[in-house]
Amino acid sequence: LAKTTQPISMDSYEGQEVNITCSHNNIATNDYITWYQQFPSQGPRFIIQGYKTKVTNEVASLFIPADRKSSTLSLPRVSLSDTAVYYCLVGAANQAGTALIFGKGTTLSVSS
């Protein structure tokens, strides 16, 4: 499984756009990139998943360059409630029996 590297922590203010970049130099051809959000004492919550280029949903965008060795999670106009740990994971998507291996994650702190 490809190893991921993310910043340990980031700080932001309400209303700003936050971009969290994840490095995954050894990503395999059939690997997808998935981001999860975790609040204290809760299970991780799925945010977004992509394979290449750009993916957007109602909460975030995911930018993946052509070489797929990195990816950037973009959170538009963050609020205090976006303070959480964000995990970037790489692995074969939606493949039966495939667990997700978590890295250290990025702790995002949003201030007013």
Partner 1 sequence: GAVVSQHPSWVICKSGTSVKIECRSLDFQATTMFWYRQFPKQSLMLMATSNEGSKATYEQGVEKDKFLINHASLTLSTLTVTSAHPEDSSFYICSAEDGNSPLHFGNGTRLTVT
Q: Which residues bind partner 1 (CB under 8 A)?
A: 34, 36, 41-46, 49, 87, 93-105
**Considering beta carbons, is residue 58 or 67 the nearer one to partner 1?**
58
Nearest-angstrom CA–CA distance, 37 and 45: 5
Least distance between partner 1 and beta carbon 68 (Å): 18
Least distance between partner 1 and beta carbon 16 (Å): 25
Three-class DSSP category at 98: coil
Task: Measure the CA angle with vertex 51, ends 47 and 57; round to 5°.
Answer: 35
Nearest-angstrom CA–CA distance, 61 and 55: 6
Least distance between partner 1 and beta carbon 67 (Å): 23
Least distance between partner 1 and beta carbon 19 (Å): 21
CB 10 within 8 A of CB 22: no
**Considering beta carbons, is residue 45 or 52 the nearer one to partner 1?**
45
**Considering beta carbons, is residue 82 or 105 the nearer one to partner 1?**
105
CB 73 within 8 A of CB 35: yes
**Considering beta carbons, is residue 81 or 97 the nearer one to partner 1?**
97
